[in-house]
């Protein structure tokens, strides 16, 4: 069955107002197979991307996102079933790969595209700085939120187009390669090692990642879900102290939100220092400065883990709803400290409310705009909105509502209306007037003035 785009269907030729990227229309990518041959020292990539697609419009031509610093040398196509698909020509310019077919592809067909390309991958420029593939002092990392995936592979670089992935990554043998999903195999040939990973669940392109470094594998305990950590040897003592509660965090969130969405959780700590931790699906990336052994970054360790539910399993339909990711992730920090230290979420909420009250009241949570989508006010006002729902509904109804919301959107995409639907059901079941819920929703999401503190 071919699914159409979600509720806010873009008009052909328009662009995402947040990322500035023109929409790629007419098809869905269902699976990416990425064969990457990476040489670390020169930061050079030779790659073959095989994309499995189906189309909901007749296609004479389609576009993909791919950074212009990578050079495409060949594009071929293969129809699946009776349809024949052949490429007439392709053109790669201005971060768009345009592929024209000999004959139009009829609606509702399955086909594959194979794209050979090479070059020196590097971050792409964006409103929020450079994002994507980044060379480190001894390896590389990928951190693509919100639209840096096309810095290293051809894709549909938009959050609501999820697909499954297969990675076959060859790198110099002293290095460990970590990617999303399960490690299927590792084979050594001469001085090179090939690592093969696959994902079982669909993933947004910005959450796809490759981490290359000289790491030691550590298994963390404290959770029924396996937790793998890849850590530079020199950082291990500090890491063990700072991440000692990672398993307990995972168990708490599994209890509060429902089962952990993936088969395992992976933490990568780079040798380099990083300004902030970075999220990927099934995986979080921290810098050496986040694992010094002083417990200074405990809240961010909790924050990044919670994104596996909010952002990775429950993806976004569009970026103006980023508060759904970050609001729940910030509230998860407060819930962890409520559990581990006894400091209530209400106390944390009050502290951050007072800070917000001192800042400009010109941000609309429901549509913050590109410039402000990563503003701390989005994060904290989002968390306060979640807290306001908890206060209104009461703990029993609130956590039941969150679990229903998470279950309904599992491995899919969500919008605020999905959360509101579950909140209305919870309000009715708890005997809370729905008009109170609607007033709360409008005040926190649709008005710029800071509402009264929820209590």
Q: What is the per-residue DSSP string for 19-43?
A: T-PBP--SEEEEEEEEEEEEETTTT
Helix (H, G, I), strand (E, B) or coil at 436: helix
Q: What span, in angstroms and rounded, lies between the C-alpha atoms of 374 and 325?
A: 11
Q: What span, in angstroms and rounded, lies between the C-alpha atoms of 157 and 198?
A: 19
Looking at the fold, whether 75 and 162 belong to one and the same domain comes out as yes
Looking at the fold, whether 284 and 390 belong to one and the same domain comes out as no
Annotated binding site for Zn(2+): 303, 307, 326
Active site residue 353: no
Q: Which of 208, 235, 250 is the last residue of a domain?
A: 208
The residues pairing with 169 across neighbouring beta strands, listed in sequence order, are 36, 195
Domain contains 6: no
Q: Single out the catalytic residue among 379, 405, 415, 422.
A: 379
Annotated binding site: 303, 307, 326
pLDDT surpassing 50 at residue 77: yes
Domain contains 4: no
Predicted pLDDT of residue 1: 28
Q: What span, in angstroms and rounded, lies between the C-alpha atoms of 449 and 22?
A: 33
Domain contains 450: no
Predicted pLDDT of residue 82: 86
Range of the domain at 385: 315-445
Mean pLDDT of 260-274: 98
Predicted pLDDT of residue 4: 36
Active site residue 117: no
The overall average pLDDT reported for the chain is 96
pLDDT in tens, 366-423: 999 999 999 999 999 999 999 999 999 999 999 999 999 999 999 999 999 999 999 9
Predicted pLDDT of residue 239: 98
Looking at the fold, whether 63 and 199 belong to one and the same domain comes out as yes
Helical H segments across 243-344, by residue range: 246-257, 298-306, 323-340
pLDDT surpassing 60 at residue 10: no
Residue 151: φ, ψ to 5°: -70, -15
Looking at the fold, whether 60 and 165 belong to one and the same domain comes out as yes
Model confidence, pTM: 0.96
Q: Single out the catalytic residue among 161, 279, 304, 333.
A: 304
Mean pLDDT of 8-24: 77
User: Own/partner pairs for 371-377, CB < 8 Å, 24+ apart?
Assistant: 371/127, 373/18, 373/146, 373/319, 373/320, 373/322, 374/128, 374/322
Looking at the fold, whether 135 and 196 belong to one and the same domain comes out as yes
Residue 181: φ, ψ to 5°: 90, -160
> What's the domain count of the chain?
3
Looking at the fold, whether 429 and 391 belong to one and the same domain comes out as yes
Domain contains 437: yes
Domain contains 5: no
Predicted pLDDT of residue 13: 52
Q: Which of 208, 226, 252 is the last residue of a domain?
A: 208
For residue 156, the Cα-to-chain-centroid distance in whole angstroms is 14
Which residue has better confidence, 15 or 355?
355
Over its C-alpha atoms, the chain yields an Rg (Å, rounded) of 22
- Is 317 within 8 Å of 347 (Cβ atoms)? no
Looking at the fold, whether 223 and 200 belong to one and the same domain comes out as no
């Amino acid at each position: 069955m071919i699914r159409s785009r979600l509720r806010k269907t873009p008009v052909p030729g328009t662009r995402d107002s947040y990322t500035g990227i023109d929409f790629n229309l007419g098809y869905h990518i269902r699976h990416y197979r990425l064969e990457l041959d990476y040489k670390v020292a020169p930061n050079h990539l030779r790659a073959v991307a095989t994309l499995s697609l189906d189309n909901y419009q007749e296609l004479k031509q389609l576009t993909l996102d791919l950074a212009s610093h990578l050079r495409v040398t060949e594009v071929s196509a293969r129809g699946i079933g009776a349809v024949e698909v052949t490429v007439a020509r392709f053109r790669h310019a201005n971060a768009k790969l345009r592929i024209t077919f000999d004959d139009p592809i009829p609606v509702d067909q399955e086909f594959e595209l194979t794209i050979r390309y090479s070059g020196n991958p590097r971050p792409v420029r964006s409103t929020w700085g450079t994002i994507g593939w980044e060379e480190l002092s001894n390896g590389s990392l990928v951190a693509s939120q919100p639209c840096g995936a096309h810095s290293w592979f051809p894709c549909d670089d938009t959050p609501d187009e999820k697909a499954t992935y297969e990675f076959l990554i060859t790198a110099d043998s002293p290095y460990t390669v970590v990617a999303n999903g399960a490690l299927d195999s590792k084979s050594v040939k001469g001085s090179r090692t090939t690592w093969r990973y696959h994902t079982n669940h669909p993933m947004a392109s910005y959450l796809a990642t490759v981490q290359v470094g000289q790491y030691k594998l550590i298994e963390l305990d404290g959770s029924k879900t396996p937790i793998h950590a890849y850590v530079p040897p020199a950082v291990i003592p500090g890491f063990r102290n700072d991440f000692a509660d990672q398993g307990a965090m995972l168990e708490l969130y599994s209890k509060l939100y429902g089962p952990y969405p993936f088969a395992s959780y992976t933490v990568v700590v780079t040798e380099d220092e990083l300004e902030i931790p970075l999220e990927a699906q099934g995986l979080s990336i921290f810098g050496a400065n986040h694992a010094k052994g002083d417990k200074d970054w405990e809240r961010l360790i909790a924050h990044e883990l919670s994104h596996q539910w909010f952002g990775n399993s429950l993806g976004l339909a569009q970026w103006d709803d980023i508060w759904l990711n970050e609001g729940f992730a910030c509230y998860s920090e407060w819930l962890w400290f409520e559990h581990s230290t006894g400091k209530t979420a209400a106390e944390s909420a009050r502290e951050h409310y007072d800070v917000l009250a001192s800042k400009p009241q010109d941000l609309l949570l429901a549509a913050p705009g590109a410039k402000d989508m990563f503003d701390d006010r989005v994060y904290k006002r989002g968390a306060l909105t979640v807290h306001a729902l908890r206060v209104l509904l009461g703990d029993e109804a609130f956590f039941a509502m969150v679990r229903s919301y998470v279950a309904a959107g599992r491995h899919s995409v969500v919008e605020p209306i999905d959360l509101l639907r579950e909140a209305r059901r919870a309000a009715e079941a708890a005997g809370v007037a729905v008009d109170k819920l609607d007033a709360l929703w409008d005040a926190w999401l649709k008005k710029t003035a800071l509402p009264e503190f929820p209590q």
